[in-house]
Structure 1
């Protein structure tokens, strides 16, 4: 019996040591800020207010500009960390764009009530090399390697279960990370993640032609688009006044008129992306006062959406869409007789001419799709029935294990587990908890109770502004 007790004591000390905690630290846990200071390449920029029971940090982490050539230079990538406990599950979250500087929790973080490491996607400022080589350094593999290094570094202090998540482009990013580094996390929960595996197709257009259950709503949206393009000079004047007030310029797309036309085209897509079926009642009648219609567009899709100032933040996304990700074809044929720039609504239009885009990589997305269908495991996808980005979702295949796809009835680009029918929400919630090593919760409980100071939904999970994705 003594030998067994001694063996367990040695094992306990070993486990605690690997976790960065000694037996003494069990009684007096180390301070998370001090532990963070021991991660090579990590800088604690600041500690910021957080709800009771949590610590919230802004961080930077030194990453190679090219993971295949570690000696080619480095850049600083922005992170945030929401710390609860060293042994709690940890969620790696990315929006696929910039990182939020607020202590929000993604839905999986709420479900497991754990820590959250949030990462800014490379090339989104300020997480950009000083002399960027877009074609070599801004690829889905390089971004996945960023996440790999980060998760490996933080596993030194968080030895529990790890989950990866993100919404929209963040959901795509979480999937790509798992494809290239399948053993880094225990499971992945992507939200509203499109899978543009075939770039030359009309799957999105067929979806948009039938979206929703009210043909009258679709007709009203198309009528208001045609009305604006027919009365182009009226709306151009209103848009020009706003542009002057805000200092907008249009050198990337070529002119304010191009921006207006593409914005009108995209308004149909944008409406279904973020509005709900009930919002069909807000669509103005064709022929209404220009000010009324313009105000509606400001809520749905600003006619100045494609100004340089609005595009600047998202150039890395449009570059990736033009190079590897792919993008929906423009839903514009029914407007063809009113268009001055047919075919301009493509990703290349929104990237400055000074940025060279390599020839489109036709193998990147099929590779991801093939992996999901043949080797993916512990994947849980959530989509929205009316979200255009759900037109081409990730699909499970013969080789996918312990994985699930859920669709929120009538859901848009903000769809989440808690919006599913009760039985499905409970099943999805308990699947996530099982993957995190936690016991199930009772039916009807999809998240932990929200502590004071937390929003009940992570605003980063969906992007409430341009680009469409």
Structure 2
């Protein structure tokens, strides 16, 4: 009996090995057969195949005659019979030699398709008509990618992203609700009515402890009171590092004020309540105050060089996404530039534009009333989580990670919420596998913390 069992096992193994090899070769052939898709490179990290791809997209999905551009994406392939996670970062796509996996990808032990947002890095049409940078156009990019790759992967799809990437995943779901089987959006703001930002001001009046809030307010006030001594520190930094201000904010003084205004936002976005102990007192020297603000908010960010990569985001914020419009009541009489804290301030003159209210109102209404299988994860101490999406009652959920900042995740929820969210995600994906499949090689974790996204 034992001999017979071993014989059968050897036969099955011999049959399975060529079948697996054939499947892997078929994958490459199938990718190459997709019209408009180019396989740029392939590597094989342990347990996976990793492809860098380029896909030909219409510059304007409403008018294909305007030409095409190449959109960059990557594919982390584990197997054909497991779910696919579509990751939309909302910004450029970093192509690392060792790819990382998002939290939903790890929970499901899934394949992962990561998409670079149009107009970022390599995915910008040339010449660029910035009017084609809209939430619907990007959703249509993702729709074409999903439809193309569904010719290879027949399993269920889950979309995810954090911050602007979370917003991007919501917009895709709104315009093409049949593309994926569920969405996990992390720390995704919902600025439905742009001028009504009382939720943000309320957040800053309640977050953390009262002594910490008072200390942070004092830092901002001191920085503006000492402006005449501290702006020269920024100008010296700019001279050393080759920073300029002419294309965007216009002067070192305006850049300095913008950075000071953004300091408290940046603190809560990436720090925790434990970091309140590092806030400098009112007696700190100019150099100490400057160094702390630089570490938290970066004086190099609000320069022409620091902002250029983010122009597509700021353009979208100005035209459609909206932005936090804070009162800064504690700084009255100390600021010089009215209306500075808004995206048109940090864009070149040719990209400044008027805000369109309808797109966000439409998305907000759809999420509240018609969306299905959507999960929102927010951080209790994250400024961007102050204005949240309100999911419908149609198999959709909202969770808040206690004490978490902009890096909030399912793993940071309460034990009960984490279990519920994980079970829901696996149900959507049709997956009954363990959280991490035994024996599966593990790639680096990706907490999906987005590129630094300032408070404007």
The TM-score, its normalising length taken from structure 1, stands at 0.89
**Equivalence for 1:151:** 146
Q: 1:244/1:165 Cα in 2 relative to 1: closer, same or farther (>3 Å)? A: same
Q: 1:425/1:449 Cα in 2 relative to 1: closer, same or farther (>3 Å)? A: farther
**Equivalence for 1:341:** 337
What is the Cα deviation at residue 381 of structure 1? 0.5
**Equivalence for 1:405:** 398
| Whole-angstrom CA distance in 1 between matches of 2:412 and 2:229 | 41
**Equivalence for 1:108:** 104
Q: Which moved more, 1:169-178 or 1:329-338?
A: 329-338
In 1, are the aligned partners of 2:344 and 2:352 still within 8 Å (CA)? Answer: no
Match of 1:70 among 52, 61, 64: 64
Match of 1:53 among 47, 50, 54: 47
**Equivalence for 2:255:** 259
Q: Which moved more, 1:258-267 or 1:32-41?
A: 32-41
In 2, are the aligned partners of 1:259 and 1:304 still within 8 Å (CA)? Answer: no
**Equivalence for 2:187:** 192
In 2, are the aligned partners of 1:193 and 1:393 still within 8 Å (CA)? Answer: yes
In 2, are the aligned partners of 1:123 and 1:129 still within 8 Å (CA)? Answer: yes
| Whole-angstrom CA distance in 2 between matches of 1:36 and 1:187 | 24
What is the Cα deviation at residue 25 of structure 1? 5.0
**Equivalence for 1:455:** 444
**Equivalence for 1:20:** none
Deviation digits for residues 171-200 of structure 1 (CA, Å, limit 9, x no counterpart): 000000000000000000000000001111
Q: 1:245/1:33 Cα in 2 relative to 1: closer, same or farther (>3 Å)? A: farther
Match of 2:368 among 355, 362, 373: 373
In 2, are the aligned partners of 1:84 and 1:114 still within 8 Å (CA)? Answer: yes
What is the Cα deviation at residue 33 of structure 1? 2.8
State whether structure 2 residue 80 is matched by structure 1 residue 98. Answer: no
In 1, are the aligned partners of 2:119 and 2:125 still within 8 Å (CA)? Answer: yes
| Whole-angstrom CA distance in 2 between matches of 1:168 and 1:449 | 31
User: What are the within-5 Å matches in structure 2 for residues 238-387 of structure 1?
Assistant: 238-251=233-246, 252-357=248-353, 359-387=354-382
**Equivalence for 2:167:** 172
**Equivalence for 1:34:** 29
The gaps in structure 2 that reach 5 residues or longer are 1-17
**Equivalence for 1:124:** 120
What is the Cα deviation at residue 322 of structure 1? 0.8
What is the Cα deviation at residue 47 of structure 1? 1.9
Q: 1:356/1:115 Cα in 2 relative to 1: closer, same or farther (>3 Å)? A: same
| Whole-angstrom CA distance in 2 between matches of 1:282 and 1:149 | 48
**Equivalence for 2:6:** none
Deviation digits for residues 371-392 of structure 1 (CA, Å, limit 9, x no counterpart): 1111111001000111111111
Q: Secondary structure at the match of 2:281?
A: coil
Q: Secondary structure at the match of 2:123?
A: coil
Q: 1:346/1:79 Cα in 2 relative to 1: closer, same or farther (>3 Å)? A: same
| Whole-angstrom CA distance in 2 between matches of 1:449 and 1:298 | 44
| Whole-angstrom CA distance in 2 between matches of 1:356 and 1:278 | 39
Query: Number of residue pairs matched?
Result: 435
Deviation digits for residues 347-370 of structure 1 (CA, Å, limit 9, x no counterpart): 11111102252x321111111111
In 1, are the aligned partners of 2:47 and 2:441 still within 8 Å (CA)? Answer: no
What is the Cα deviation at residue 27 of structure 1? 7.1
Q: Secondary structure at the match of 1:77?
A: strand
**Equivalence for 2:227:** 232
Deviation digits for residues 235-279 of structure 1 (CA, Å, limit 9, x no counterpart): 222222221222111121111111110110111111111110100
**Equivalence for 1:439:** 432
What is the Cα deviation at residue 326 of structure 1? 0.6
| Whole-angstrom CA distance in 1 between matches of 2:439 and 2:237 | 40
| Whole-angstrom CA distance in 1 between matches of 2:229 and 2:437 | 51
| Whole-angstrom CA distance in 2 between matches of 1:450 and 1:329 | 50
In 2, are the aligned partners of 1:109 and 1:116 still within 8 Å (CA)? Answer: yes
What is the Cα deviation at residue 38 of structure 1? 1.3
Q: Secondary structure at the match of 1:401?
A: coil
Q: Secondary structure at the match of 1:423?
A: helix
**Equivalence for 1:16:** none
| Whole-angstrom CA distance in 2 between matches of 1:112 and 1:206 | 37
State whether structure 2 residue 409 is matched by structure 1 residue 416. Answer: yes
| Whole-angstrom CA distance in 2 between matches of 1:45 and 1:183 | 29
Q: Which moved more, 1:290-299 or 1:60-69?
A: 290-299
| Whole-angstrom CA distance in 2 between matches of 1:218 and 1:467 | 19
| Whole-angstrom CA distance in 1 between matches of 2:384 and 2:80 | 37
| Whole-angstrom CA distance in 2 between matches of 1:330 and 1:128 | 32
What is the Cα deviation at residue 340 of structure 1? 1.3
Match of 2:83 among 73, 79, 89: 89
What is the Cα deviation at residue 108 of structure 1? 0.5
Over the residues paired in the alignment, what is the CA RMSD in angstroms? 1.9
| Whole-angstrom CA distance in 2 between matches of 1:391 and 1:356 | 26
| Whole-angstrom CA distance in 1 between matches of 2:20 and 2:53 | 26
